[in-house]
Amino acid sequence: MTAHTPIKALDIAAIRSEFPILQREINGKPLVYLDNAASAQKPEAVIEALSNVYRHSYANVHRGLHTLANEATEAFEGARQKIADFLGAQNAAQIVLTRGATEAINLVANSFGQTLESGDEIILSQMEHHSNIIPWQLLAQRTGAVIRWCPVTQTGELDYDALMGLMSARTRLVAMVHMSNVLGTTNDASRIVKMARDNGAAVLLDGSQSAVHMPVNVTELGCDFFVFTGHKLYGPSGAGALYASGDWLDRLPPWQGGGEMIADVHEDHSTWADVPHKFEAGTPAIADVIGLGAAIDWVRRFDRIAVMEHERALLDRATQGVSAMPGIQLIGTAQDKGAILSFAMEGAHAHDLAQLLDKYGVAVRAGHHCAQPLMRRFGVDSTVRASFAIYNTADEVDVFLEALHKAKSFLI
């Protein structure tokens, strides 16, 4: 089996055996890890890649001439190429390596943002993660730019008619999540891009969830910027990427200054390195980026559609079971959604539910999920979120449902 022949028939038991942490017990119960939208667990291949860097070939990248520096640089730049291939970018120079999606969005806000003037408009949606809200609010405070908000329907879908109505000659950027971390809703990126193009605006897509749960080809999507983070993609924390189309990276000014991003430094001026290094100041997260490359290699072993179907079956099973329990409000019922299930229970706080589920070894996320505007849209202050990954099973869904039923009986 080659890297170019992805596996369509998923052997979930074999996949699970590659994740050491899944052998753990929590409170005397087998771990059922359903907090994947926050961060996924790591396969042995990623753990070994990190270990091998530090054990055998660690050195700072690029400028060294010795063997270790050359080995580290080759692996580091190899990971950049893997990311480009994974996202369907035309070349690796379109990939800026960052600490994650948050830093990537801040990079665009602080670089592209230097071209904005007072009164220019940025469109966001009510379903955005705080990482795709705060950088734009800070930018608006500095520049006088205006943020306009696209509403979300009762089923948790983007209101495309409202989005069209928000477009104007002053719209400079549409920054939206590709797949919601709370609702699981997959937004129609091509439709968003067309609307923006018709109005002369750029598009940034937050792919933190979509890059994990569905095939992504940024060239086909036509977006200007795409960000994702490695730790949700079975990779290390502290590594992610920004994709920029066309000549955006050449046109935009750098954000952070320091080593690595320069060509020449003089007392009265400096010039910048070629892209993408112009945007990569300082020593990067070398081992973590190499580990992200290993995670992408691991993910690409499996057919993406087969993984989607597996995760969707788990979501459908969980949704059916939760829907049958009285007093539970599902948050996000869009038809086209990823494997994320959020809900609120009448008379019970999400934190209490999560703590009780933990007693049965079930790990879920509880809170506002860094999406407080969305919580207010649905009239809740928090939800419980169960999110599924390639290594989860139907039996684990049943354990979750049984534990939820017991927790509900205890609290209400």
Same domain for 234 and 281? yes
Q: Characterize the bridge pairing of strands 383-387 and 365-367.
A: antiparallel
CA nearest neighbour of 180 among 146, 155, 202, 148 = 155
Residues 107-111: contacts with CB under 8 Å, at least 24 apart? 107/242, 107/255, 107/279, 108/135, 108/204, 108/225, 108/227, 108/242, 109/135, 109/136, 109/138, 109/139, 110/135, 110/139, 110/255, 111/252, 111/253, 111/254, 111/255, 111/279
Q: How many Å apart are CA 314 and CA 398, to the nearest integer?
A: 10
DSSP state of 7: B
Question: How many other CB atoms are found less than 10 A from the CB of residue 21?
Answer: 11
- pLDDT score for 6: 87
- pLDDT score for 191: 98
* Active-site option among 370, 380, 398, 406: 370
CB 80 within 8 A of CB 97: yes
Instruction: Estimate to the nearest angstrom the gap between the alpha carbon of 87 and the chain centroid.
Output: 13
Residue with tokens 């069209």: 164
Same domain for 231 and 197? yes
- pLDDT score for 412: 66
Same domain for 135 and 269? yes
CB 366 within 8 A of CB 345: no
Same domain for 110 and 230? yes
CB 331 within 8 A of CB 183: yes
What are the pLDDT tens digits along the chain (412 aa)? 344 688 888 999 999 999 999 999 999 999 999 999 999 999 999 999 999 999 999 999 998 899 999 999 999 999 999 999 999 999 999 999 999 999 999 999 999 999 999 999 999 999 999 999 999 999 999 999 999 999 999 999 999 999 999 999 999 999 999 999 999 999 999 999 999 999 999 999 999 999 999 999 999 999 999 999 999 999 999 999 999 999 999 999 999 999 999 999 999 999 999 999 999 999 999 999 999 999 999 999 999 999 999 999 999 999 999 999 999 999 999 988 999 999 999 999 999 999 999 999 999 999 999 999 999 999 999 999 999 999 999 999 999 999 999 998 888 6
Q: Cα separations (Å) of 33 from 36, 111, 297, 336, 359?
A: 7, 38, 23, 24, 13
- pLDDT score for 409: 85
H-helix or E-strand spanning residue 35: none
The count of C-alpha atoms lying within 13 angstroms of the C-alpha of 267, restricted to the half-sphere facing its C-beta, is 0
Q: Which two tokens stand for residue 255?
A: 């954000």
Length of the chain (residues): 412
| CATH number for position 183 | 3.40.640.10
Same domain for 68 and 217? yes
Structural domain includes residue 3: no
Structural domain includes residue 1: no
Range of the domain at 284: 48-299
Structural domain includes residue 295: yes
pTM for this model (two decimals): 0.97
Same domain for 323 and 263? no
Domain total of the chain:
2
| CATH number for position 308 | 3.90.1150.10
Structural domain includes residue 6: no
- pLDDT score for 2: 41
Same domain for 81 and 21? no
Structural domain includes residue 42: no
Same domain for 164 and 240? yes
Structural domain includes residue 7: no
H-helix or E-strand spanning residue 198: helix 189-198
Same domain for 266 and 312? no
Structural domain includes residue 126: yes
Same domain for 23 and 65? no
Same domain for 340 and 376? yes
Q: How many Å apart are CA 317 and CA 312, to the nearest integer?
A: 9
Q: How many Å apart are CA 159 and CA 157, to the nearest integer?
A: 6
Whether the ω angle into residue 276 lies within 30 degrees of 0, i.e. cis, is yes
Active site residue 223: no
Structural domain includes residue 131: yes
Expressed in percent and rounded to 5, the helix, strand and coil fractions of the chain are: 45, 20, 40
Same domain for 338 and 291? no
Q: Cα separations (Å) of 333 from 122, 142, 150, 158, 162?
A: 27, 37, 18, 12, 19
DSSP string covering 136-177: HHHHHHHH--EEEEE-B-TTS-B-HHHHHHH--TTEEEEEEE
Q: How many Å apart are CA 373 and CA 178, to the nearest integer?
A: 17
- pLDDT score for 43: 98
